[in-house]
Amino acid sequence: MSAFRELRDVSKNFEYDLRSASAELFSAKMGHMFEDTIAKKTKDLAFFSAKLKLLTAKSLPSAWKVVEQVTAKSLTQAHAVKALITEPDSSLDPELIQRKQAIIDCLKEFRHAESQLRHLNALLKEKETEHCAVRAVWDRTLSELRDHGARRERSEPDCIGPLY
Segment 94-141, tens digit of pLDDT: 898 998 999 899 999 999 999 999 999 999 999 999 999 999 999 999
| Cβ pair 11, 53 in contact under 8 A | no
- d(Cα 85, Cα 22) in Å, to the nearest integer? 60
Q: How confident is the model at residue 155 (pLDDT cuts 50, 70, 90)?
A: low
Measure the CA dihedral 146/151/153/154, to 10°: 140
Higher pLDDT, 18 or 151: 18
> Exposed (0-12), middle (13-18) or buried (19+): which is 46, by Cβ within 10 Å?
exposed
- Between 107 and 26, whose confidence is greater? 107
- pLDDT number for residue 8: 83
- What's the mean pLDDT in 1-16? 82
Q: What is the pLDDT of residue 65?
A: 82
Domain holding 6, by residue range, is 1-76
To the question of pTM greater than 0.75 for the whole model, the response is no
What is the reported pLDDT for 163?
61
Instruction: Please report the pLDDT score of residue 126 as a whole number.
Output: 97
Q: Among 102, 103, 109, 53, which Cα is nearest to 82's?
A: 103
Is there a single domain that holds both residue 63 and residue 91?
A: no
In a domain, 159, yes or no: no
Q: Any idea which of 20-24, 53-57, 94-98, 157-161 has the lowest mean pLDDT?
A: 157-161
Point out the domain boundary residue: 76, 95, 119: 76
* Distance (Å) of CA 14 to CA 43, 114, 137, 155: 15, 45, 61, 78
Task: For residues 18-24, give the mean pLDDT.
Answer: 81
My answer on whether 71 and 94 are in the same domain is no
Please report whether residue 163 resides in a domain. Answer: no
